[in-house]
Structures are given as structure tokens and as C-alpha cells.
Amino acid sequence: MLDATNLLSDVFGFDAFRPGQAEIVEAVCNGENTLAIMPTGGGKSLCFQLPALYRDGLTVVISPLIALMRDQVRALKASGVSAGCLTSGNTEEESDEVFAALRAGELKLLYLAPERLAKTATQDMLRRANVTLIAVDEAHCVSQWGHDFRPDYLRIGQLRQSLQVPLAAFTATADAETRQEIVGRLFDGEQPTTFLHGFDRPNLTLAFQAKNSPRKQILDFADARRGQSGIVYCGTRAKTESLARALTEDGHSTCHYHGGMDPEDRRVVETRFSREDGLVVVATIAFGMGVDKPDVRWVAHADLPKSIEGYYQEIGRAGRDGAPADTLTLYGADDIRFRRQQIDEGLADAERKIADHARLNALLGLAEALTCRRDALLGYFGETEITCGNCDLCETPPKTFDGTTHVRKALSAILRTDAWFGAGHLIDILRGTTTDKISQRGHDQLPTFGVGDDLDKREWQAVFRQMQGHDLIRPNPDRHGALFMTDKARPILKDEASITLRRDTIVKGRSGPRVRTLVSDEDAPLLSALKAKRRAFAEAQGVPAYIIFNDKTLIEMAEKRPASLDDFARISGVGAKKLQNYGKGFLDVINGAETETLHPARRKLAGGNAGSIYDRLLDAQNRLKTGESGFDKPITCSASLLAKIAETRPRDRTAMTRILGDRRADRFADAFLEVLADS
Ligand code: ADP
């Protein structure tokens, strides 16, 4: 397809498009209006960055996230692309530099915060610049009903009309309503070429655990991933602070983050997180929107998220670079009660509350799933053909039992006590435990008293939690959390339906969690050394480590161990500019001793066919340096001459002579033509 594939490898260092990217890039390159819906980490930015380079003129990128824009500009510059951004975070110098590049007509990508569109000066400037494409990131921000509405996004449609250029919109939010709004507001109601891509993130490991000793569960999980960047999400602000302290005491480099903190302190955490390797941030969901770090290696939920959409978005912050990343979500009966209460006591109207309960139910279904989690998760988003093998249930299928009788006994205990009690008291009734409360109320006289002594207290708690998870019972907001039976439970009570429950596997003590490494034991020391080298480069340049190379590229280096610059250039993520800047540094780490130093003219050809042609031309030249006889006057060709022949591949003697001149052609032309004919 087009010459775009060359740009993909030369500038970005990727040897292939990710699924779906090629079609989008082609449409955008061709100047079609496009709307692409891709999951987080799917590689959206490439879908406008590459066309921006392919097309003449300037591409304007509108994005709501300043941190993300600045990161992308830095990354583009590191790849040798002329890019700049205009945001409130700019220093005067930075802005001057952008304006100068604009005036000189050098800039290929200009990132703009939406607020800038409100200024007439900006609109005038854009009209004067040779804008040929508008790209809109996070296009769902145009939706007035969504959570992320940005009023200034409403100006983008106008801008498109006044500049009369194609527009490419990107978002990870797929629901049909939002899509409709985007088409209405950005494209004036005219349907753009639309791409809808799958929601699977195969590199993320999905796992849930019932809360047992939650703090220890999180500490264990973090311990097995020591030194890797991670996020722990908590339900409350206070908990972010206490859990961060516990992780710090356990030797992790940790910060906490929540909406109640001073904006300046929050910014410090965001910056540290994006720059440092291996920082753990313990946060409420306030942490996320402004964070764009591709090498987050794990996300843990210390409390149950609010909904399945929230869960998907939060775990989605891990592993955006495509390298393996792990997630763990803890949940317990208290979490479920808390989330239900939050909905019931919220200000939303009745219809909205019903929808919110349903979204929570979907998440609980995922938590209590008996088979593949990915199936349950993607099934919710309407996807059917799913291959997993990367979730806790695929790895270890849960032990299950027919819970119908137990559930009926529990329901009956609720009914006989008029739905006035919580799980603790109901379990005492079922197990026949005589407490003061039981005696006072005469509950030891109930027919259900003691009918459930085949399960211990913990097992009954698991049954009650799962009943909540299956939405058979709910806390009554007017009765301080007393449980009542829902309509969904009636068929089980009437013996018209059965239910399978899981036996909780209790997570055992902290006896050495399995350490998660990204490469085999054999390659692990090399990966650490490569990371250290990366850190040195990053610190010297004052940029985040992943701007140098992302984890996936480093892992491939550790596994393939390239021995030469040619091999190095074939590693995914290594483009021409990075090869030149960092190739030798990393090769020295991999190969211990000093690696060969290539002539700059030869280095430019590294990794491609022209590189090996160059080497063979050089051999031929060395062979013939003193003629066939070996006694003639020595003649040589310069490195750039050889590179020119390797690149332009002159077809015949005349063309060859034009490059070499008569004297050199006499000596080398035949041999060189032979080399070219063979390759
Ligand atoms: P998002 O869709 O969330 O905006 P990004 O554009 O940030 O995703 O891309 C996520 C990661 O995927 C980045 O680290 C990027 O370098 C990488 N990536 C994008 N396209 C490719 C590709 N064709 N091959 C390999 N890695 C890619």
C-alpha cells in the first residue's frame, strides 16, 4: 500500500501495521473524512501521524490532554519528525519555536488544545498555514452527554468548514449514540468512512480474587512485579494514602493520588509516573485521564470498580505498548453493597439507576464468572469470537458445586425474617449459632435455624457474596443494608431454576508469590542492562524512558540479541533516527565488547537490502583495488559512492559510469553490475 509502508519502518521503526491500522491510514492518506473507533492501546496516533507525514502541508491535531500531546510531540521529535504543540503548558520559548517552524513551513504536525480554537488569532493562523488535514483525538469529548464533554470541541466542526480540509476523528468509546453525536457535530451529519475495531487487548492478563486479606493480596501482587510500573486503584481517598504507605514500607517506590490533593502535587505525581521506571501510584479513578504512559506493566483494583465500562477503561491503562501486562481486581460482599448503595443514594433518575445497576451486574458477572473472563468481558461489548488463554480461569478453572439448595435456604432465611437483616445474622441463623440477637428475636425457633451447618461461616459468606453477584439479593437502602430478595431469585426459590456456584479458593499466605518476568530467566539480566542503558539515555535527554524505546522493543532486543546494526535495525520500534542515535549504545550492551563502527553512509542503509548490497560492493572493490593482477595502481570508491550505487542500482555500464567516472568504471563497473544482477 502506498509509500506509507516505508514511512512505517523508516520513521516509526515498525515492520507491520497492527490489525486495522492499514485501512485507516490508507483512507486518511487519501483525504477521506474518517471516524475510527479503536480500543486504547490499539495504535490510534499512528493512524494520523503517518498520513500527516505522507501528505503535503500541515496536520492539526486536537486533543484534550496536554500531557499526552507533549509526550507525542517529544516522541515524534525523537523520531526525526517536525512537530510542535500549543497548549497552556508551553513556555514562551517553546511557543516561539513552534511559530517559527510554522512560518518556515517546516512543521508537519501541530497539536492544539481545544481551548485555543476559541481565539480568533488561532483561527487566523490556521487559515494562513497550509493545513491539509485535521485529526481529532478522543473525539467523544464532543458528546454533551458523556463524562468527558469539552465545550470547545464544538468549534471543531466550524474549523473544518472554514479550512475545507478532510477530518479524521478517533475515539475508544464505541456506543452507537456517541458515534451519532460525533458524526453530527464534527462532520455536519455527513457519514464519514467509519472503522470499528475490536475491544480485545490480548496482552492483558485478567484476574479477579475474592477479598480475603486484601492488603496482603495487593502487596503480594506488587511484590511479584517489583520494579515494574503499576497503578493500584482504590475506592476511597483515605485508602490510597494508607495503602501507599504500606507499599512504601514494603520497599516499593510509591506515590498516592486523589482528587482532594493540591493540583500542583497531583501534577508532580503525574510527571514522576510518566518519567520514572517502576513507580507505583495508588490512586482513586481521578488518576487516568491525563496519564499516557505506554509501559504500565500492571493495574490492580484494591476495590471493586463502579461498572464494567469503568473496569475496562482502568485495566486498559496497562500494557499500551503491546507487551505483556497483568491486572488483578479484588472484590467482596462489602464492595458490592457499597456500589449498590452508591447508585441507590445517588441523584440520578430512576431509569438511570436501573441502567447503573445493570452495568454493575455485568461487572459482578465477570467477577463471579465460572469460565473464561475475556469471554464475559468482550461478550458484554458484543464480541463473540474470542480466543483467550490469558485469564486466571483459563489457567485454573474454578471448582464449582450445585448451589441451588444453599441459595434456597438463604432466600428462605431472608423471607422468614421479613428482609430486615444483613448477611452476618442470616448466616448465624442458617448455621444454628445461638447469639444474643438470635435468642432475643426468637430466631432459633425458625424452621431455617441450623439447616445450613454443612457450610462454615466463610463458605456461607462466599454464597451470599455470589448471590449478590448474581443479583438474587440486594441491600435495602432504607433498612441500613438489610438484604432483600430480587425478582430474579424467584425461579430458584420455586425450584424452577438451578444455580452453579464457585468454591472460593482461599489465597494462601505470603509464601513467595510467583515472580512475573517479561522474558525468560536467561534473558532477564540482559533486559535489566538494556533498561539501565535506556534510563541513562532518557536522563541525559530529560525525557521518559519509553520515548527512547518502549518495553516491547527492549524485550525483543533481549531475546533476539542483534549482533550488528543491520540486525538491530530489524527490531520492531527501531527507525532510522533511533538507529543512528542509540544503535551503537545498545549494541555495546548486548555484545559486551565494542561493536563494529559503521561508516555513516553505510549506517543509513542498515537493516535493508541496500545494506547487504553495499557490503558486497565493498568486497568486490577490495578484491579489485589493485586490479585483476593485483599489481595495478590502487583505486578505491568512497563510502558515499558505494552507498549511492547500492541505493540507485544503475542498470547498465553507461549509468554506472555516470556515477563512478571513467577511471573507476574501468576497474569496477563489471564486478559491480554482477553484484547488482545477483541481488
Ligand atoms: P492509542 O490507540 O491508545 O492512542 P497509541 O497510539 O498510544 O494507542 O499506541 C499504543 C502503542 O502501540 C504505542 O507504544 C505505539 O508505539 C505502539 N504501536 C502503534 N502502532 C504500532 C505498530 N504498527 N507496530 C508496533 N507498535 C505499534
**pLDDT band at residue 252 using 50, 70 and 90 as cut-offs:** very high
pLDDT score for 144:
75
Is the CB of 17 within 6 Å of ligand 1? Answer: yes
Distance CA 594, CA 588 (A): 5
Is the CB of 317 within 6 Å of ligand 1? Answer: no
Over residues 319-348, mean pLDDT: 90
Q: Quick one: which atom of ligand 1 is closest to the CA of 17?
A: 23
**pLDDT band at residue 429 using 50, 70 and 90 as cut-offs:** very high
Over residues 25-47, mean pLDDT: 91
Is the CB of 41 within 6 Å of ligand 1? Answer: yes
306-316 pLDDT, tens digit per residue, is: 888 889 889 99
**Average pLDDT score, the chain:** 89
DSSP annotation of 571? S
110-167 pLDDT, tens digit per residue, is: 999 999 999 988 988 999 999 999 999 999 999 876 667 889 999 999 999 999 999 9
Distance 546 CA to ligand 1 centre (A): 12
Is the CB of 45 within 6 Å of ligand 1? Answer: yes
pLDDT score for 373:
95
Distance 321 CA to ligand 1 centre (A): 6
pLDDT score for 507:
52
Is the CB of 294 within 6 Å of ligand 1? Answer: yes
Ligand 1, atom 20, lies closest to the CA of 43
Is the CB of 546 within 6 Å of ligand 1? Answer: no
Bridge partners of 330, per DSSP, are 209
Contact 585, 640 (CB under 8 A): no
Q: At what angle do helices 576-591 and 66-78 cross, to 10 degrees?
A: 80
Is the CB of 43 within 6 Å of ligand 1? Answer: yes
Cell triple for 582? 542509540
Worst-scoring range by mean pLDDT, 128-142, 411-425, 623-637, 643-657? 623-637
Ligand 1, atom 9, lies closest to the CA of 43
70-109 pLDDT, tens digit per residue, is: 889 999 999 999 999 998 888 899 999 999 999 999 999 9
**pLDDT band at residue 289 using 50, 70 and 90 as cut-offs:** low
**pLDDT band at residue 68 using 50, 70 and 90 as cut-offs:** confident
Of 192, 127, 112, 114, residue with least CA distance to 161: 127
Is the CB of 305 within 6 Å of ligand 1? Answer: no
Which residues, other chains included, contact 103 with Cβ-Cβ below 8 Å and sequence gap of 6+?
none
Is the CB of 589 within 6 Å of ligand 1? Answer: no
Rounded to 5 degrees, what are φ and ψ at 84?
-155, 165
Which of 45, 48, 197, 551 has most ligand 1 atoms within 8 Å of CB, for mutation? 45
Over residues 665-676, mean pLDDT: 91
Distance 45 CA to ligand 1 centre (A): 7
Which of 7, 9, 11, 14 has most ligand 1 atoms within 8 Å of CB, for mutation? 14
Cell triple for 57? 502541508
Distance 18 CA to ligand 1 centre (A): 8
583-631 pLDDT, tens digit per residue, is: 999 999 998 765 566 777 787 787 778 888 888 898 888 888 888 888 8
pLDDT score for 166:
97
Q: Quick one: which atom of ligand 1 is closest to the CA of 42?
A: 2
Distance 570 CA to ligand 1 centre (A): 18
Cell triple for 435? 447469639
pLDDT score for 610:
85
Terminal CA-to-CA distance of the chain, rounded, Å?
23
pLDDT score for 605:
81
489-525 pLDDT, tens digit per residue, is: 999 999 999 999 998 765 544 444 567 778 888 888 8
From the CB of residue 315, how many other CB atoms can be counted at a distance below 10 Å?
A: 27
Burial call 405-444: b when 16+ CB within 10 Å, e when fewer: ebbbbbbbbbeebeeebbbebbbbbbbeeeeeebeebebe
From the CB of residue 674, how many other CB atoms can be counted at a distance below 10 Å?
A: 12
Ligand 1, atom 19, lies closest to the CA of 43
**pLDDT band at residue 172 using 50, 70 and 90 as cut-offs:** confident
pLDDT score for 418:
94
Of 263, 305, 272, 311, residue with least CA distance to 291: 272
pLDDT above 70 for 275: yes
Over residues 249-276, mean pLDDT: 94
Is the CB of 553 within 6 Å of ligand 1? Answer: no
Cell 518495553 belongs to residue: 551
Worst-scoring range by mean pLDDT, 13-27, 182-196, 205-219, 426-440? 13-27
Over residues 627-652, mean pLDDT: 87
Over residues 42-70, mean pLDDT: 92
Distance 590 CA to ligand 1 centre (A): 25
**pLDDT band at residue 179 using 50, 70 and 90 as cut-offs:** confident
Q: Quick one: which atom of ligand 1 is closest to the CA of 12?
A: 16
pLDDT score for 265:
95
- Using a 10 angstrom Cβ sphere, with 0-12 exposed, 13-18 middle and 19 or more buried, the burial of residue 515 is exposed
By three-state DSSP, how is residue 384 classified? Answer: coil
Is the CB of 618 within 6 Å of ligand 1? Answer: no
Distance 412 CA to ligand 1 centre (A): 54
**pLDDT band at residue 438 using 50, 70 and 90 as cut-offs:** very high
Distance CA 388, CA 438 (A): 48
pLDDT above 80 for 367: yes
Distance 43 CA to ligand 1 centre (A): 3
What sign does the CA torsion over 539, 544, 549, 550 have?
positive
